[in-house]
Structure 1
């Protein structure tokens, strides 16, 4: 990995030199646009509306328009901002980890020690672990002042960028103001359904089916050309319309089906068939029960 930023975490008189690395990457198959008539590549050009010329990226500035007034901001203008010049991750406060709403999280970055001595880095990491606290920090990255959460994952400090409070929309749905009566039996059956899905979270058990199928489609078209038989490649994809059930019946059937799938999955696993099929069965059950609930 290549460091994209170098600076220091600061709180009080403590200074922890760090390097910033992107913690995530996209696994999506990269596609581009082509003309459907001849397969020619579609490319976008940065064309000036005034002179009509194609403008190279190094000659493009940013601008802000308000009414009929446009203010052009050059790279030099933006780099002159004090916040942009800062190379410090300033700790604002240490808060209980459970108080942070995950809805505010954005990108994730690893912070690695950027000095010969890692003592201050390890001390901060250990302190966060022992106190079960997350550091709320402010810093500048890519011409933006950002709010962040500094936490620990697998013995590494992780900087999670956060949305500012005014960037999170209020959840205002009039439908939720309606008073709905939930019976004790419905709550009991719903709890039983949740219980039948209980498991410890294993990230490796989940996979992106769309990207896998997209790769399969690309490989099949490379081998067979445009005459590919998608039904032979993927099987029949049409689904039967969901049966309309009342809520209690939908819950009862969902619990029974999930338990049966779990029981079958456990038997397969014990006989050495692996956990992959179990995960797939679980997903299809979840999808079906969701459809049934919507119909109810």
Structure 2
């Protein structure tokens, strides 16, 4: 694994240098879109709705739609915001672990000691375990201030970014306000059913059957020859253009120009009458 960020956990006078690694990865089979008629790649363009031109990323800015008015936010505007630029993971408080609702968890990261001695790292880890506490921290990454939970998983400290409080919706369902009578017999039968399914959770015992079947389907098609040449999916040239984008408008114009040139070659050349009547004068040879 490659670290994506370096910093230090700080609380009081304690400083714990750490390296940050992504704790998860996507195992989905990567797929793209093609035209059902000829298998050609389908690309998405960034087209300006005013002039209809394709816009490069370097000329794209962010904007906020305020109803009848739109506010354009420039890179200079964003740079002026007071975002923390330090490399510190500041501990705000230590809370009972059960108080952190899993619905707030977003992304998970592993923290590795980044110093000659891991003593401060181990001390923080053991303290969190013995006190059954989770550290609520704030830090800045990619120009954003993030809230996160710092907890222990085995021998490793795990940093899990959290949603802000106003990002979690309230579940206000009127149907749950209706009074429902549950008999003791029904509850006992339901509990017996739950008990029959009791087990210890083992993540490795579960696999993504859909992705496995999709991989088998792809392998079977390749073995049967039910596939097309990848280079052909990019049209003329046989290669994906730099940057991974096909500018459909420019491609159409280029093909039109080539088609017109080909049509002109097929037509008989006609010389102007003045040129047919006037023969070119012979060149004079220079005397040695």
Structure 2 length-normalised TM: 0.74
Q: CA deviation at 1:226?
A: 5.4
- Contact preservation (8 Å) 1:79, 1:85: no
1:220 equivalent in structure 2 = 220
1:116 equivalent in structure 2 = 116
1:186 equivalent in structure 2 = 186
Structure 1 residues 67 and 173 mapped into 2: Cα distance closer, same or farther (>3 Å)? closer
Correspondences of 1:37-76 after superposition (within 5 Å):
37-76=37-76
Structure 1 length-normalised TM: 0.72
Structure 1: distance between partners of 2:69 and 2:190? 58
Structure 1 residues 45 and 125 mapped into 2: Cα distance closer, same or farther (>3 Å)? same
Q: CA deviation at 1:225?
A: 5.2
- Contact preservation (8 Å) 1:90, 1:137: yes
How many pairs does the alignment contain? Answer: 227
Structure 1 residues 148 and 215 mapped into 2: Cα distance closer, same or farther (>3 Å)? same
Over the aligned positions, Cα root-mean-square deviation in angstroms equals 1.9
Structure 2: distance between partners of 1:21 and 1:81? 27
Structure 1: distance between partners of 2:165 and 2:40? 45
Structure 2: distance between partners of 1:84 and 1:107? 20
Correspondences of 1:211-290 after superposition (within 5 Å):
211-224=211-224
Structure 1 residues 17 and 59 mapped into 2: Cα distance closer, same or farther (>3 Å)? farther
2:139 equivalent in structure 1 = 139
Q: CA deviation at 1:148?
A: 0.7
2:95 equivalent in structure 1 = 95
1:154 equivalent in structure 2 = 154
- Contact preservation (8 Å) 1:23, 1:108: yes
Indicate the structure whose relative CO is greater, using CA pairs within 8 Å and at least 6 residues apart: 2
Structure 1 residues 70 and 85 mapped into 2: Cα distance closer, same or farther (>3 Å)? farther
2:13 equivalent in structure 1 = 13
Q: CA deviation at 1:68?
A: 4.2
SS in 1 for 2:216: helix
1:269 equivalent in structure 2 = none
* Structure 1: stretches of 5+ with no match in the other structure: 228-296
1:293 equivalent in structure 2 = none
Larger radius of gyration: 2
Structure number with the higher helix fraction is 1
2:177 equivalent in structure 1 = 177
* Structure 2: stretches of 5+ with no match in the other structure: 228-288
Q: CA deviation at 1:59?
A: 3.0
SS in 1 for 2:83: helix
SS in 2 for 1:160: strand
SS in 2 for 1:83: coil
SS in 1 for 2:50: coil
Structure 1 residues 115 and 61 mapped into 2: Cα distance closer, same or farther (>3 Å)? farther
Please say if 1:105 is aligned against 2:105: yes
